Amino acid sequence: MTHHKTITISKEEFDDKKSAKKYERYTAKEEAESGIRPDGSIDLSCPCMHSALSHRCGHFFRLAIRCFNGSTTKPKGNDCLELFKDHAICIKHSS
């Protein structure tokens, strides 16, 4: 849960670089969660993936993603198409 806090500072404090350090933690931008790692692989441990993995077809999704992450084909994941199709078929039949 995110808690919001309002702080009031004077113009002098706002313009003062030393004061800026003091309030830095209140203005720091939160990093957005991403399911994509810097190397382009998909991070299955990201909370953003939990709903896809917990679905009744999640095991197909997990197999396809693991295949994609280990793929060395060009384009990446080209050897995993059948696994992604299996996942899509499962989703279609469970709707």
Q: How confident is the model over 25-74, as pLDDT tens digits?
A: 655 555 556 788 888 888 888 888 888 899 999 999 999 999 999 999 99
The CATH number that domain 56-93 falls under is 1.10.287.2900
Closest alpha carbon to 63 in 48, 75, 74, 79: 79
Residue 65, number of CB atoms within 10 A of its CB: 23
Tokens standing for residue 21: 């350090």
Quote the pLDDT of residue 64: 95
Coil, strand or helix: which one is 74? Answer: coil
Q: Which residue has the tokens 């050897």?
A: 79
Q: Say how far apart CA 50 and CA 34 lie, in whole Å.
A: 12
Residue 7 has pLDDT above 90, yes or no: no
